[in-house]
Amino acid sequence: MNKTLLYAVLLIVTVVAPFMFPTFGTQLATLWLMVVVALTWDLTGGQMGYNSLGNIFFYGTGMYVAAVVTISLVYSVSDYTNAAGGGTFQFTWAQYLTGLALGSIAAGLFCAACAVIIGYITFGLRGPYFAIGTLGVAIAAGELVSNWDWVGGGQGIALPVYPGDLDQGKTVFYFLFAGLGVGLFIFLKWLYGTRFGLALNAIRDDEDKADGMGLHTMRYKLTAWAIAAFFVGIAGAISAFQLIHFEPLETAYQTINLGIFMVVCVLLGGKGTLWGPVVGAIMFHVFKEVTWNYFLGWQWVALGALIVITVVYFQDGIMGWLMRVRPEWFGVSVDRSGKAEAAE
Amino acid sequence: MSNIIEVSGVSKRFGGVIANHDISLKVKKGEITGLIGPNGSGKTTLFNSIVGFHPIDEGSITFEGSEISKLQVQDIARLGLLRTFQQTRIYGKMNCVQNMLISIPHRKAAFMDMFAPHSSADNEKALSLLEFVGLYEKRNLLGGDLSFGQQKLLEFAMALMNDPSVLMLDEPTAGINPTLINGLIDRLKKANEEFGITLFVIEHNMRVIMNLADDIYCLAHGEMLAQGSPDEIQNDTRVIDAYLGAH
């Protein structure tokens, strides 16, 4: 009962937030983006124990796939990028919306396929080697794309501006991100309740044992990463439309910004829990915006300090700490009413 | 009585160390076979070779008549040949019931089975096996919070959950409270007789293995030293010498 009420309140807050705080429209949209990348990072990093530093690859790739799909539906991509903003390229409402829809779906599917291919190679690596290997993929992709003139090279690429009222556009993007976030949360809540959730946890706790028990570990790992990549790819596509112009190194494949932030969000909130990444993303985003606004010049120092404190003193995050001090809230307890005798 | 596992001429080297040299043995279907030998005699290496943990240098290993020495760990496990570890391995951050539920057989798992909900039959089986090993009351505790002996019992229950045709146990009684060892022997015998699981057991506790096994092999210095019934092994001077270090 309490839970239903909680979910109802949260859903109402989600819906009314952009209307109550219209000046924060873009900030709130970014908050949902953080929730999406944190939840997807936790799917492999927290639940499965494979700490990827390369999930940003799917964000950047999603952006480019969405751009290429949207443009190629109407114009030649090379004409468009060669004009470098000089030509006149008009998109009608219908063309814009088709691009947004098809571009997002294509971005998700393309990124999921990339995850299967990259995962097939990198899942042979474990622990820090996997983290560095995936980071390498993201950095290499950024460098390659910035030298690929067909998609605008280092200049980046620009998408059409939202054809309607711009304030209305902000609200539309807020609800696209919020919808993606809520959909992802519900999907993961279901997924972690199936055999899939247990298999991921088994791989995290002891992958050799899981192999020894006959689990199809590679199948689970590839599927998990493909699911994460699918949602991050769509998030990237929506970001591309929201930002209008983006370039490869600082925006799309931004390994040192969003690529690291998603990890910090999860560590802060608690790895391997459903709510941890959500709580962590909200706290991190608020912290980041406050420091950016009030401690300008020191914002990176403050952020660095937060990361150091989290990693050194608070590794379990907020949810992990709660589980430690209140295990009974999470059902960890001895059942004395049982029928069998205890073994000591 | 047919042989379910046949090991013939298996050798395994680690650099200059010859861990197993020309080992041959047979595990009879439906029986309990023991494997003994002093520390470092190559028992665990042989177990690892059989379950595909590492490739062997020479020889052949068959399970139910087909060659398995080239197969991967998961493939061998899915054939129904399972092992437990000397250093107990359970999923530490999952509770006992979850440990059990993910240990169901994956023999015929199709792609969509990854997303299957936990069936009530699986749940019941998990609970009854936890009761069988005496961990029912602790079922909601995390695996990693159990004592070593309890983790051993949990690992045994997980193996039973998997419905193996052969279960290879690496020192099942090591680290278990002596007062509980008799209970464990009963459970192992029960698993063999009632569930029809062939057991292949490494054991240092002579009282346990002599009670349990129908047939015993003894390894020393990576070579097969003796084979026979518990009585024969107990009276074999070579075995006694190996244990007392009269080499």
pTM: 0.91
> Nearest C-alpha of chain A: how many angstroms from B101?
8
The answer on pLDDT for B25 being more than 70 is yes
Q: Which candidate from A204, A341, A344 shows the least CB-CB separation from B177?
A: A344
The answer on pLDDT for A344 being more than 50 is no
Confidence band, pLDDT 50/70/90 cuts, at residue A84:
low
Cβ neighbours of B107 in A, within 8 Å? 214
Contacts 24+ apart (CB under 8 A), A203-208: A203/A48, A203/A49, A204/A47, A204/A48, A204/A49, A204/A272, A204/B93, A205/A49, A205/B90, A205/B91, A205/B92, A205/B93, A205/B94, A205/B143, A206/B89, A206/B90, A206/B91, A206/B92, A207/A49, A207/A126, A208/B73, A208/B89
Cβ neighbours of B101 in A, within 8 Å? 195, 198
Cβ neighbours of B116 in A, within 8 Å? 194-195
pLDDT value, residue B107 = 86
pLDDT value, residue B1 = 56
Q: Tell me if B106 and A198 make a contact (CB, 8 A cut-off).
A: no
pLDDT in tens, A8-48: 999 999 888 888 888 888 899 999 999 999 999 999 999 99
Q: Which candidate from B51, B106, B136 shows the least CB-CB separation from A340?
A: B136
Q: Which candidate from B85, B89, B114 shows the least CB-CB separation from A196?
A: B114
Q: Tell me if B98 and A223 make a contact (CB, 8 A cut-off).
A: no
Select from 3.40.50.300, 3.40.50.980, 3.30.1050.10, 1.10.10.10 the CATH code of B3-244: 3.40.50.300
Closest chain A residue to the Cα of B145, Cα to Cα = A332
Q: In chain B, which residue ranges form alpha helices assigned H by DSSP?
A: 43-50, 73-79, 96-101, 120-133, 148-161, 178-193, 206-212, 230-234, 237-244
Confidence band, pLDDT 50/70/90 cuts, at residue B19:
very high
> Nearest C-alpha of chain B: how many angstroms from A52?
21
What is the pLDDT of chain B when averaged over all its residues? Answer: 91
> Nearest C-alpha of chain A: how many angstroms from B229?
30
| For chain A, percent of residues with pLDDT exceeding 70 | 96
Q: Tell me if B74 and A204 make a contact (CB, 8 A cut-off).
A: no
Averaged pLDDT for residues B11-36: 93
pLDDT value, residue A76 = 83
Q: Which candidate from B53, B116, B183 shows the least CB-CB separation from A195?
A: B116
Interstrand relation of B198-202 and B166-170 (parallel, antiparallel or unpaired) = parallel
Q: Which candidate from A195, A201, A214 shows the least CB-CB separation from B114?
A: A195
List the single best residue of B106, B130, B179 to mutate versus A (max A Cβ within 10 A): B106
CB neighbour list of residue A11: distance below 8 Å, 6 or more residues apart: A182
> Nearest C-alpha of chain B: how many angstroms from A278?
21
Q: Which candidate from A199, A219, A332 shows the least CB-CB separation from B142?
A: A332
The answer on pLDDT for A66 being more than 80 is yes
Averaged pLDDT for residues A42-59: 95
The b/e string for A291-305 (b: 16+ C-beta within 10 A; e otherwise) is beeeeeeebeebbee
pLDDT in tens, B94-122: 999 999 999 999 888 888 889 999 999 99
| For chain B, percent of residues with pLDDT exceeding 90 | 66
Count chain A–chain B contacts defined by CB atoms under 8 A.
Answer: 138
Residue spans of the domains in chain B: they are: 3-244
Cβ neighbours of B54 in A, within 8 Å? none
Q: Tell me if B94 and A340 make a contact (CB, 8 A cut-off).
A: no
The answer on pLDDT for B29 being more than 80 is yes
pLDDT in tens, B123-172: 999 999 999 998 999 999 999 999 888 899 999 999 999 999 999 999 98
> Nearest C-alpha of chain A: how many angstroms from B238?
35
Q: Tell me if A340 and B130 make a contact (CB, 8 A cut-off).
A: yes
The answer on pLDDT for A343 being more than 50 is no
Q: Which residues pair with B26 in a beta bridge?
A: B6
Q: Considering only A60-69, A163-172, A175-184, which range has the smallest mean pLDDT?
A: A163-172
The answer on pLDDT for A112 being more than 80 is yes
The answer on pLDDT for A216 being more than 60 is yes
> Nearest C-alpha of chain B: how many angstroms from A200?
10
> Nearest C-alpha of chain B: how many angstroms from A325?
15
pLDDT winner (highest mean) among A181-185, A294-298, B171-175 = A181-185
CB neighbour list of residue A107: distance below 8 Å, 6 or more residues apart: A61, A62, A63, A65, A66, A69, A233, A234, A236, A237
Confidence band, pLDDT 50/70/90 cuts, at residue A340:
very low
pLDDT in tens, A262-310: 999 999 999 999 999 999 999 999 999 899 888 888 888 988 898 888 8
Q: Tell me if B95 and A339 make a contact (CB, 8 A cut-off).
A: no
Give the integer Cα–Cα distance in Å for A137 and A150: 21
